[in-house]
Amino acid sequence: MSFVTIERKVLEKNDEIARQNRALLSKHGLFSINLVSSPGAGKTTLLERTFAELAGRLRVRVVEGDVQTDIDAQRIAKLDVPVVQIVTNGACHLEAKLVQDALTQLDLRGAELLVIENVGNLVCPAGFDLGEDLKVVVVSTTEGDDKPLKYPAMFRNASVLVINKTDLLPYVDCDLAALRQRALQINPSLRVFETSCKTNAGIPEWCRWLEEQVRAKK
């Protein structure tokens, strides 16, 4: 029982700091997303394509979360996007305090979009509010079409689903209609995008939606 109590305290503390993060981001008029997925679903590549598409259109900041490396932050920095890396040293998800610390390292003035790329994990990050406006869950077609059934908390807590690597559909067992339907059964208000970072399919639509959210936040 003591474990449960402490777990609850950890979450309460997290929620309080998430509120502080949300207030800070609102003060700057920043629209923010918390990008979650399995390892290797293509979050960082999606960001590379997104920032290439949005170059000159949106001022972006990025917080990268990783268990051990700064590989992803290096990739984002190459695009001249200001980025801070959080290394969790083994922890399986980002918490609001880590993001709060990361935000002190970024110049938020004039920024319009903040992307927090979470640790690759379809389970644990679902329960931790970081102060973002909404969660975006990325699923790769190579993971099959049953992931919403198997990891429902993530799909319930997300506002947007990006089905990525659609270029691989001819080669994998993934029924796109079934994947969509299963996700929408869990969360009927999910906004769904289908993207390929190889062919750029769906990237313009996704970017237009991001721009709309940024304008609505201002």
Cα dihedral across residues 106, 108, 109, 114: positive or negative? positive
Tell which one of 79, 108, 124, 178 touches a copy of itself (CB under 8 A). Answer: 124
* Segment interacting with a copy of itself, rule: CB under 8 A, options 21-29, 51-59, 107-115, 165-173: 165-173
14 near a copy of itself (CB under 8 A) = no
Number of residues located near a copy of itself, criterion CB under 8 A: 36
144 near a copy of itself (CB under 8 A) = yes
Binding string, 78-107, against a copy of itself, x = CB under 8 A? ------------x-x---------------
Q: Which residues contact 9 (CB under 8 A, 6 or more apart)?
A: none
Q: Which residues contact 158 (CB under 8 A, 6 or more apart)?
A: 36, 134, 135, 136, 137, 187, 190
- CA nearest neighbour of 119 among 155, 86, 93: 93
Q: Which residues contact 181 (CB under 8 A, 6 or more apart)?
A: none
Q: List residues near a copy of itself by CB under 8 A.
A: 2-3, 6, 10, 38-40, 66-69, 71, 90, 92, 119-124, 140, 142-144, 146-147, 149-153, 165, 167-168, 171-172
